[in-house]
Amino acid sequence: MAYYLMLFAAGFAGSFHCIGMCGGFACALGRDPSGHGATVLRHLLYNTGRLTTYCFLGGLAGALGEVICTPQGMTVSLVGGSLDSAQRILAIVAGMLMIGMALQFFGLLQGLHRFAVGFGSSTLASSLRSLLTAHGNAAPLAFGVFNGFLPCPLVYAFVAQAASTAAALPGFLTMASFGLGTFPAMLMMGGVGRALAPAWRQRGVWLAGSCILLLGLVTLGRGILPFTAHVAHGWPGGFPA
Amino acid sequence: MSERGGVLCSHCLLPVSVRAMQRTVNGESHAFCCYGCCIAFQVKNGKSEEWEAAWLLIRLGAGAFLSMNIMLFSLLLYAGAFTGIDARLLPWIHLLLWVFATPALIILGGPFLAETWRDAADGRVTSSALIVLSVGAAYLYSAFAVLERGPHVYFDTAAMVLMLFTLGRYLEAAGRARAARNLEPLLAAESECATVVDGSVQTRRPVREVSVGTLVRVRPAERIPLDGTVMEGESHADEAVITGESRLVPKGVGSPVIAGSINIDGPLLIRSTCAGTDTRWAQICRSVRDALTRRSPTQRLADRIVGIFVPLVLSLGALTALYWVQWLPFDRALLIGLAVLVVACPCAVGLAAPLATSLGIGRLARRGCLVREPGALEQLARTRLLAFDKTGTLTSGSARVVRIETDDVAADEVLARAAGLERHSEHGVGRAVTAAAAARGLNPVVAADVRILPGRGIRGNADGQAVVAGNRALMSEMGWSVAPALGERGRSLEADGYSVIYVGWGEQVRAALALDDATLPEARSTVEALQSPGLHVMLLSGDLAPATQRVALAAGIEDARSGLSPEAKRAALRRLRQKYCVVAMVGDGLNDGPVLAEADVGIAVSSATDLAREMAAVVLPRGGLWMLPWVIDVARAVRMTILTNLLWAFGYNLIALAFAALGLLQPVLAALVMAGSSVLVVLNSLRLERLPDPVCMALSGWHPTAAAQSGPEPFSVRTEPMIKQG
């Protein structure tokens, strides 16, 4: 449980990064003229759409991790051996990815940033703008669904984390925790409709970077360190995989 | 749109079938060749004020939302999240999935069902039928399973197959639109508007309604809509699409401008010199549209294969399911059968040839090379023999001074005096001499009392002396003396097939000018670039042997045949075809029409002004001989791409089919594989965009249309860089 709480916290911290792009969308989604309740519903639907995409990606990544890990079937009997070698490799790859994303948050690795965000995201985003102003409840939902697929290093990092759990359910829960973590900030953005001061945003981005860096190191550690030293071991509720 | 019946997809410019998808976007009616183009077009061009554009995306988003929920719950089901104490929840979960799946299926599957219906009305069974059938079967089975409280449902299969195919269609269409980028400026002629100036009033009128003599204003960065003359303003124009000229052409008052070129940096006021529908641009537009809507032989073959492929796959799917049902539970066997249906969707096959061809046509069109038959590119790539015509193809088609033999005077003086006379002449010889003098920067010696002696030459007075330029007969008539050496050299030039002009003053013949229809400067490098073990280059000429030999030598062609009438040329091509299978003929398009039509691929280099009467399948811009090797390279690349596309599409299909029939491929994975296959075909075709541009070799400082900017009739005047002095 603590693991998911930590992911929730990371998502919350990370959402200061989201304010950059997704926050703009949330603002653009704006208020519904027919009242406060309708506005809240609009933003809830948008965030539900986003969350669904994240959960889907998480479940898929987890299942993919499972597919990668199970067919080998050769459980390397380490001390206490519950992680086979494939899962270790997956953890190492995911950990490295997360560390890379975190470093990028600190302004290092600019090339990676271009790689992560450069995939025609701007054209996709601009073409989706037609959904923002459309009427009806389905439009914000649809926009949220597409929004979830927009390239974002934060999402990549957590999808990598989900893949390293090597099962559909924990993968789903990983992304669900993260997605719920981003809820407060995004709802606030929609409701309040004003951006945070840039200095605060920068601090938020650093906070997000630190969280991801920590998670990445933990994940990397799961892959490299012998089981006895495993961090997850110490968590109450254990590691779900 | 076109009166000849061909309708092109608004998004990707590929031809649409008889029953197109019609949609209204931004208040205009559009036709689309497929569902993917319909989505991609609205994503790209839909305005936010338009409910219609957003509506499609909303539906897709809602469909994705439902499908993802279905997939999530199904993943959890597969992962065993609802076993043990939660098992009694199972029927409810199934029911929930059903509730999600029904609207998802209607939203996402509707367009595929409509497509199947349209095709069925035409009596065709296409790949969408396979999708509809497999998704429908999975859904219906699952619905029964829910009612019967069966252990497994496959709503996820139904929803994900639809989702993946929709995504695949979208990506494919987005890639195809990229492929059409080069064609857009050519097809714009039909929809372009011109800003007509009438007194102080400016109105926007469709180009096709604009007549001769109309004043038209063209702003910077706009396309010049009509052929005309600049009345006001200065600017540069990019004429690459029409002439192949890659540099910007300066325009000032009095310069001619060409419809279809882009006005770069200054506002222009032009007076049209021909009606909007008669410009070369409008003709090119009609011709390209025709070429795009016609199907190449390869494509017809592929279509026929798809036609028998689909029923075959249907029966194969049924057989597979029947076979597996003996060994496995019914639902597993059904799934294997469905995987066969899904994986065998021949979407990529239908795309293989038209996409590569339209990319190739667009790539060539950007440099003014026009392809009028979709099959011509493939034929050209297979060509083993390339026959050139001589006059106007390898040669400039107009006389020029190639040799000056003098008797103790400077060649410059001879030219200056001759030019002083000949500038009064309208004869081709006269133009050649004045051009030669101008090319050397000589001032013609002013002559008075100039008289033209028809059939013999021209005479006048300069510096108090009689000056004469004309043939041998005129010189004997004048009774002027000729140095024996000069007379001998003149006679030998005449024997070699040159026309010789003698120039004399002060009662003495001073020089002999040899005129020839000279070989184009780029002929040699072009022929060198073309010659390869797989391609034989030859010359078929109607001219005399010495003249033909001279051009063959200058161009570096070993195999030259002379004295052929047009009929003999056609017969020769027919004979040569037996040896070389596919033969191409390069001619000037004006006189060689029937010969070009006889060849498998006719290539015109300086084409007829009226494209509609053009017989050649490939038309190079005037002075575009140097581009021929590049055109053949593009044609080869196109053919290679078509072959790899087909190989990939069929090979991939067959291998995946085998896997699916053996039960090794889940339907969802099969859908992923199939959607990926057509995207890969698009990506493979898009590699054609990266072909290098043509390079003008061998002649530094020379450029195909460098001389064309000044004359009233562009692209026929040439500088004289190759005069030899004897």
Asked if residues B509 and B502 have their Cβ atoms less than 8 Å apart, the reply is yes
What's the confidence (pLDDT) of residue A46? 83
Q: What share of chain A is helix, strand, coil (3-state, %, to 5)?
A: 75, 0, 25
Q: Where are the beta strands (DSSP E) in chain A?
A: none
Asked if residues B619 and B586 have their Cβ atoms less than 8 Å apart, the reply is no
CA dihedral sign, ordered A206, A211, A213, A214: positive
Beta-carbon separation of A172 and B46 below 8 A? no
Q: Is residue A79 part of a domain?
A: no
Q: For chain A, give the mean pLDDT.
A: 69
For β-strands B508-516 and B499-505, DSSP reports them as antiparallel
CB distance from B54 to chain A under 8 Å?
A: yes
Q: Is residue A233 part of a domain?
A: no
**Of residues A132, A146, A167, nearest to B61 (C-beta):** A146
Show the 3-state SS of B467-517: EEEECHHHHHHHCCEECHHHHHHHHHHHHCCCEEEEEEECCEEEEEEEEEC
CB distance from B44 to chain A under 8 Å?
A: yes
Asked if residues A63 and B75 have their Cβ atoms less than 8 Å apart, the reply is yes
Domain span at residue A59 reads 2-73+84-228
Which residues of chain B have a CB within 8 Å of the CB of A55? Answer: 68, 72
Distances (CA, A) of B652 to B167, B303, B308, B649: 19, 17, 18, 5
Instruction: Enumerate residues 6+ apart whose C-beta is below 8 A from B267.
Output: B217, B218, B219, B220, B233, B235
The complex scores an ipTM of: 0.76
More confident residue, A100 or A193: A100
Q: Is residue A215 part of a domain?
A: yes
Asked if residues A127 and B61 have their Cβ atoms less than 8 Å apart, the reply is no
CB distance from B106 to chain A under 8 Å?
A: no
Query: B220: phi > 0 → left, psi -120 to 50 → alpha, else beta; which?
Result: beta
Instruction: Give which of B550, B397, B593, B558 is closest to B585, Cα–Cα.
Output: B593
Which residues of chain B have a CB within 8 Å of the CB of A141? Answer: 61-62, 65
More confident residue, B216 or A3: B216
First to last CA, chain A: 13
- The pTM assigned to this predicted structure is 0.72
Q: Is residue A44 part of a domain?
A: yes
Q: Is the pLDDT of residue A123 over 70?
A: no
Q: Is the pLDDT of residue A73 over 70?
A: no
Of the residues B55, B58, B70, B664, the best mutation for testing chain A's interface (the one with the most A CB atoms within 10 Å of its CB) is: B58
> pLDDT tens across B43-97, in order?
666 554 555 556 777 788 888 888 888 888 887 777 766 666 566 777 788 888 8
Beta-carbon separation of B51 and A139 below 8 A? no
What's the confidence (pLDDT) of residue A122? 52
Helix (H) / strand (E) element for A49: namely helix A36-69
- Of A110-124, B117-131, B478-492, B678-692, the one with minimum mean pLDDT is A110-124
Q: Is residue A148 part of a domain?
A: yes
> pLDDT tens across B181-200, in order?
777 777 777 777 888 888 78
The neighbour count for residue B487, using CB atoms within 10 Å, is 18
Token digits for B640? 């290679």
Cα–Cα distance for residue pair A215/A207, rounded to 1 Å: 12
What's the confidence (pLDDT) of residue B715? 32
What's the confidence (pLDDT) of residue B52? 57
Cα–Cα distance for residue pair A26/A140, rounded to 1 Å: 10
Beta-carbon separation of B79 and A169 below 8 A? yes
CB distance from B59 to chain A under 8 Å?
A: yes
- For residue B180, report the phi and psi dihedrals to the nearest 5 degrees: -90, -5
> pLDDT tens across B539-571, in order?
888 777 787 888 888 888 888 888 788 888 888
- Of A193-197, B377-381, B531-535, B624-628, the one with minimum mean pLDDT is A193-197
- Of B103-107, B644-648, B672-676, the one with minimum mean pLDDT is B672-676
Asked if residues B661 and B719 have their Cβ atoms less than 8 Å apart, the reply is no
Minimum distance, in Å, between the CA of residue A146 and any CA atom of chain B = 7
Token digits for A120? 């025609």
Q: How confident is the model at residue A113 (pLDDT cuts 50, 70, 90)?
A: low
Q: Please, what's the b/e burial string for B592-615 (b: 16 or more CB within 10 A of its CB; e: otherwise)? A: bbebbebbbbbbbbbbbeebeebb
Beta-carbon separation of B76 and A172 below 8 A? yes
Cα–Cα distance for residue pair B109/B113, rounded to 1 Å: 6
CB distance from B253 to chain A under 8 Å?
A: no
> pLDDT tens across B691-714, in order?
887 776 544 334 444 333 333 333
Cα–Cα distance for residue pair B265/B281, rounded to 1 Å: 21
Q: Is B389 a catalytic residue?
A: yes
Q: Is the pLDDT of residue B344 over 70?
A: yes
Minimum distance, in Å, between the CA of residue B33 and any CA atom of chain A = 21
Token digits for A123? 């054209």
Q: Is the pLDDT of residue B493 over 80?
A: yes
Number of domains in chain A: 1
Q: How confident is the model at residue B420 (pLDDT cuts 50, 70, 90)?
A: confident
Distances (CA, A) of B14 to B80, B351, B352, B374: 48, 10, 12, 12
Of the residues A54, A56, A69, A169, the best mutation for testing chain B's interface (the one with the most B CB atoms within 10 Å of its CB) is: A56
Q: What is the DSSP letter of A58?
A: H
> Which residue has 């960065």 as its token pair?
B221
Query: CA Rg, chain B, in Å?
Result: 34
Q: Is the pLDDT of residue B719 over 70?
A: no
Q: What is the DSSP letter of B390?
A: I
> pLDDT tens across A9-56, in order?
777 777 766 666 666 666 666 666 667 777 778 788 888 888 888 888
Token digits for A99? 């560390």
What's the confidence (pLDDT) of residue B399? 77
**Of residues B48, B69, B72, nearest to A129 (C-beta):** B48
Instruction: Enumerate residues 6+ apart whose C-beta is below 8 A from B40.
Output: B11, B170, B173, B174, B177
Q: For chain B, give the mean pLDDT.
A: 79
What's the confidence (pLDDT) of residue B716? 32
Q: Is residue A188 part of a domain?
A: yes
Q: Is the pLDDT of residue B639 over 50?
A: yes
**Of residues A141, A145, A172, nearest to B72 (C-beta):** A172
CB distance from B53 to chain A under 8 Å?
A: yes
The residue length of chain B stands at 726
CB distance from A44 to chain B under 8 Å?
A: no
> Which residue has 């889907």 as its token pair?
A56
What's the confidence (pLDDT) of residue B722? 40
Tell me the percentage of chain B whose pLDDT exceeds 90.
0
> Which residue has 């090794």 as its token pair?
B664
Residue of chain A whose alpha carbon sits nearest to that of B70: A56
Q: How many CB pairs under 8 A join A and B?
A: 93
Q: How confident is the model at residue A74 (pLDDT cuts 50, 70, 90)?
A: very low
Which residues of chain B have a CB within 8 Å of the CB of A129? Answer: 48
Minimum distance, in Å, between the CA of residue B65 and any CA atom of chain A = 6
Asked if residues A129 and B49 have their Cβ atoms less than 8 Å apart, the reply is no
Q: Is the pLDDT of residue B645 over 50?
A: yes
Cα–Cα distance for residue pair B96/B69, rounded to 1 Å: 10
CA B486 to chain centre: 53
Instruction: Give which of B477, B444, B481, B439 is closest to B463, Cα–Cα.
Output: B444
> pLDDT tens across B218-246, in order?
888 888 888 888 888 888 888 877 777 77
The active-site residue, picked from B119, B238, B389, B588, is B389
CA dihedral sign, ordered B205, B208, B209, B214: positive
What's the confidence (pLDDT) of residue B664? 79
Q: Is residue A238 part of a domain?
A: no
Cα–Cα distance for residue pair B158/B67, rounded to 1 Å: 9
What's the confidence (pLDDT) of residue B362? 84
- For residue B558, report the phi and psi dihedrals to the nearest 5 degrees: -85, -35
Bridge partners (DSSP) listed for residue B504: B468, B509
Q: Which long-range contacts (CB under 8 A, 24 or more apart) does A195-202 make?
A: A195/A19, A195/A23, A195/A27, A196/A16, A196/A19, A200/A16, A201/A16, A201/A19, A201/A20
Strand order in the sheet with B262-263: B248-251, B235-238, B262-263
Show the 3-state SS of A165-181: CCCHHHHHHHHHHHHHH
Which residues of chain B have a CB within 8 Å of the CB of A146? Answer: 57, 61, 64
Beta-carbon separation of A145 and B68 below 8 A? yes
What's the confidence (pLDDT) of residue B28? 67
Helix (H) / strand (E) element for B193: namely strand B193-198
Q: Please, what's the b/e burial string for A51-75 (b: 16 or more CB within 10 A of its CB; e: otherwise)? A: bbbbbbbbbbbbbbbbebbeeeeee
